[in-house]
Chains A and B, each alone.
Chain A
Amino acid sequence: MLAERGLVFPPINEILRWQDIFPSFNKVALIAVASALIGMALFALAARADAKKAPTGARNLAETTVEFIEEGIVMQTLGKQGLGWTPFLLSLFIFIFLCNIPGVIPILQMPATARMAIPLALSLLVWVLFIGTGLKHQGAKYFGHLLWPPGVPTPLKPLVGGIEFVSTIFITPFSLTVRLMANMMAGHILLVTFGLLTEALVTAETQQILLVPTSILPFFMLIFLTGFEILVAFLQAYIFTILAAVYFSNSTAGHGEEH
């Protein structure tokens, strides 16, 4: 792989673009489909266990995850009446987490969310959903509440309206997408960089007595980064889901208080 002496970083397309397995379906799409199927299989298996006995195995994992979503995300943002949102938020969390984690799995080593398609699709879905929910719960007055939060003095209304409009219509889906995509892409590039550096130092062609022992340093960094990437995979899934929950709670906020 190294044609010249020293570290040669491959062109960026070599680590981010994959060949098609069959037309318009590459490794990234395969990982996304596989993670959706694994998520569904896990919960289908868990559903077959007896609900009255103490949970074990797949049922235990599924119940822990549902409890985590309910206690950690839904109760914090939507409150008790928001528990109907649990299946959607649960699917979002499981899908994003299972798409992020192949960044550290040895043979796959590519987070499916490092390319723009999946984060963009998910954040557009969340965006359409929260505007739709607001329209359904508050009718046409929703746009009034969106642009002018309660308690804005009238002279400031045009300014605040403009800011809120840009913020909700453009910045929200954009930041949701870019946060997930850039976190995963940056982690992937970092792992590739330290892996390449370790390999370049171990297979050095001159000064081996100096360079080969030095390769322990990027190797430790690689180990640390792998652990860090597992944390980031979980954290980014959690952040996406809790932000979606916050947007949904803002959409239905007027409903609880004014009716």
Chain B
Amino acid sequence: MEALSALVAAEEAGAFDPEAKNIAAATNAGLAYGLAAIGPGIGIGYLVGKSVEAMARQPEAAGMVRTTMFLGIAFTEALALIGFVVFILVKFA
């Protein structure tokens, strides 16, 4: 909890001091993307595991399972990449 209030204090100090602003921006940006990558990481791992299981159960359906797997990966990865956009916005703007 003290770490969060330290981050907020650093962000406010950045209004007066550009070096502190850079430090706060870098820390917060890294935190933003790191947190954003947790969920999709778990989601994609689960999805690919299930599709490998499906392909092993019925090798004839492997093509259709593979196509649906790619579709699912693109959806979940989009969430992680929105976090990446937040990272770019916080760090460089």
Tell me the A residues contacting B by CB distance below 8 Å: 12, 72, 76, 175, 178-179, 181-183, 185-186, 235-236, 238-239, 242
On whether the beta carbons of B71 and A178 are closer than 8 Å, the reply is no
Which of chain B's residues 55-83 have a Cβ closer than 8 Å to chain A?
67, 70-71, 74, 77-78, 81-82
**Complex contacts, B74 vs chain A, CB 8 Å:** 179, 235-236, 239
**Given contacts A12-B92, A179-B78, A182-B84, are A72 and B70 in contact (CB under 8 A)?**
no
Query: Which of B67, B81, B91, B92 is close to A186, meaning CB atoms less than 8 Å apart?
Result: B81
On whether the beta carbons of A242 and B81 are closer than 8 Å, the reply is no
User: How near does chain A come to B64, taking the closest CB pair, in angstroms?
Assistant: 9
Query: Which of A72, A175, A179, A183 is close to B67, meaning CB atoms less than 8 Å apart?
Result: A72
CB of B54 closer than 8 Å to a CB of A: no
On whether the beta carbons of B85 and A183 are closer than 8 Å, the reply is no
Sample of 16 more A-B contacts, CB < 8 Å, known A183-B81, A239-B71: A12-B91, A72-B67, A178-B78, A178-B85, A179-B74, A179-B81, A182-B81, A182-B84, A182-B85, A183-B77, A185-B84, A185-B88, A186-B81, A236-B74, A238-B70, A242-B71
The docked-state distance in angstroms from the alpha carbon of A182 to that of B81 is 6
Residue pairs across A and B with CB atoms within 8 Å: the count is 35
Size category of the binding interface on chain B:
10 to 19
Consensus secondary structure, chain B interface: helix
A-B contact pairs, 5 of them (CB 8 A): A175-B82, A179-B78, A183-B81, A185-B84, A239-B74
Tell me the B residues contacting A by CB distance below 8 Å: 67, 70-71, 74, 77-78, 81-82, 84-85, 88, 91-92
Consensus secondary structure, chain A interface: helix
User: How near does chain B come to A100, taking the closest CB pair, in angstroms?
Assistant: 14
The docked-state distance in angstroms from the alpha carbon of A182 to that of B86 is 10
The docked-state distance in angstroms from the alpha carbon of A181 to that of B85 is 9
On whether the beta carbons of B81 and A235 are closer than 8 Å, the reply is no
By beta carbon, the residue of chain A nearest B68 is A76
The docked-state distance in angstroms from the alpha carbon of A179 to that of B81 is 7
On whether the beta carbons of B70 and A235 are closer than 8 Å, the reply is yes
User: How near does chain B come to A158, taking the closest CB pair, in angstroms?
Assistant: 27
The docked-state distance in angstroms from the alpha carbon of A181 to that of B78 is 10
The docked-state distance in angstroms from the alpha carbon of A72 to that of B85 is 30
By beta carbon, the residue of chain A nearest B79 is A175
On whether the beta carbons of A178 and B70 are closer than 8 Å, the reply is no
**Given contacts A179-B78, A182-B82, are A12 and B70 in contact (CB under 8 A)?**
no
The docked-state distance in angstroms from the alpha carbon of A12 to that of B77 is 23
The docked-state distance in angstroms from the alpha carbon of A178 to that of B74 is 11
**Complex contacts, B70 vs chain A, CB 8 Å:** 235, 238-239
**Complex contacts, B77 vs chain A, CB 8 Å:** 179, 183
On whether the beta carbons of A186 and B84 are closer than 8 Å, the reply is yes
The docked-state distance in angstroms from the alpha carbon of A242 to that of B70 is 11
**Complex contacts, B92 vs chain A, CB 8 Å:** 12
